[in-house]
Amino acid sequence: MKSGSISAERILSKLDDYLHHNDYAAAERHLLYWLAEAEASLDARTELLVRNELMGLYRKQGKEQEALSTVSAALKKIEALQIGHQVGAATTYLNGATVYKAFSMAEQALPLFEKAKEVYERELAEGDERLGGLYNNMALALVDLGRFREAEEMYRRAIAIMERTEHGALEVAITHLNMASAAEAEHGLLEADAAITAHLQQAEALLEGHQKRDGYYAFVCEKCASVFGYYGYFHYENELKERAKRIYEGA
């Protein structure tokens, strides 16, 4: 197989199918197969693509060691190829940082977020939705580090971008839930009650108003459900879980 000949569209299309049915085991087998193919054919572009997808998959499954190992391998590949100035490398920095954040390693995550931010802000258009994703995830690490004013600015910048994109409503809903958690972290549950309620209500409205009920919508419902449950919205938590289940089962 010639270098660069593997179809990214083929890999991602099948991966989306597995994820739509919540079949993480099949998704992992699929990605590991194509990782081996990419390595054998010296296809660095596809190797980085697959490693990025594996980072997200392992993070969702809570597989810490596998996720961290994948991040390390991807960063070494970027360094070896000397492509750290490119947008693709910045996306890897972002995904790696998100893995670190997910496993309570915010201090390790922030330098990668900063690297991604530098490249994205230099290379992407101001309203590019990839910037919105970066700002939202970077804010989570800033909250963990107690840098609340900086986190709020990142959240506001994320919303300003995502609310103008075609399918940004789900990302804005997630951001509002993140902001509710940030308000609690900074002020405490009682003092932040009004702000928390406002953010939850905005998130619910966005979830209910979203028309495309696909696998990603189901994933977002699952992700948001536990936050609503944490704040006592038990009925809505169960509704989101059931909604996601129906989508995954093809109902």
Dihedral angle over CA of 108, 113, 118, 124, nearest 10:
160
Whole-number mean pLDDT of the chain? 94
Query: pLDDT tier at 3 (50, 70, 90 boundaries)?
Result: very low
Residue 135 lies in a domain: no
Give the mean model confidence (pLDDT) for residues 149-164. 95
pLDDT in tens, 40-73: 999 999 999 999 999 999 999 999 999 999 999 9
Query: pLDDT tier at 251 (50, 70, 90 boundaries)?
Result: low
Residue 139 lies in a domain: no
- Measure Cα distances from 211 to 58, 86, 111 in Å: 29, 35, 37
pLDDT in tens, 79-90: 999 999 999 999
Report the alpha-carbon distance of residue 191 to residue 80 in Å, rounded: 50
Domain with 153, as residue range(s), is: 146-251
pLDDT of 5 reads 63
Identify the residue whose tokens are 């530098």. Answer: 118
Residue 129 lies in a domain: no
In this prediction the pTM is 0.84
**Between 4 and 187, residue with greater pLDDT:** 187
Residue 16 lies in a domain: no
**Between 236 and 250, residue with greater pLDDT:** 236
Give the number of domains in the chain: 1
pLDDT of 21 reads 86
Report the alpha-carbon distance of residue 10 to residue 102 in Å, rounded: 29
**Between 21 and 231, residue with greater pLDDT:** 231
Cα–Cα–Cα angle for 215, 217, 220, rounded to 5 degrees: 110
Query: pLDDT tier at 2 (50, 70, 90 boundaries)?
Result: very low
